[in-house]
A and B are shown apart, each in its own frame.
Chain A
Amino acid sequence: QITLKESGPTLVKPTETLTLSCTFSGFSLSTHEEAVGWIRQPPGKALEWLAVIYSDDDKGYNPSLESRLTIKRATSKNQVVLTMTNMDPVDTATYYCARRTGSYLLFGHWGQGTLVIVSS
């Protein structure tokens, strides 16, 4: 059974750096063509893809947010970590991690998400 779970702070202040962890089970990021991504969703709004990390440690970022994002993995812990710098109230959202399906960037398994509020 494949599971993913996000963890991190619920509240961050403007200008701070957000660090989120995704702990997963049921698959290994060391397996060829596996990938884990992050997607966020502001309350009542649409989904926005943020970043992805692949089994070969290649990474991809949303071009509009790339300067603020870093994704990395801790393979031995089955974890993927996302950092986002210079947080702003518009970054308030539920942040999801998800495992991609097949060889393309579509996501067949999702965590339940973690709500991050940016407020002073």
Chain B
Amino acid sequence: DARVTQTPRHKVTEMGQEVTMRCQPILGHNTVFWYRQTMMQGLELLAYFRNRAPLDDSGMPKDRFSAEMPDATLATLKIQPSEPRDSAVYFCASGLGENTEAFFGQGTRLTVV
């Protein structure tokens, strides 16, 4: 049963700490997205990759967020230093590009206190 796997599922951290969220896309998918969901802003696209190359990260606060794909089976989203306003659910999704659907992971619920 192919699925996008995100770890951790939940993370509570103190302000100022580094947070790393990981995503394993579906094998064979060449496009990976990071989204953030909050009540106020809804679902926002933070960054996405195609064939491991970053295509767009304009949705990310550059000073504290970074996204990478060290290999085809792992995408990471880091926040350093974290702030309370970063509290949200972070979703990773993968797909085959073009006009095909993106499959979402279960999300990482981040709480920064």
Check if A and B associate.
no
Chain B residues close to A by CB (< 8 Å): none
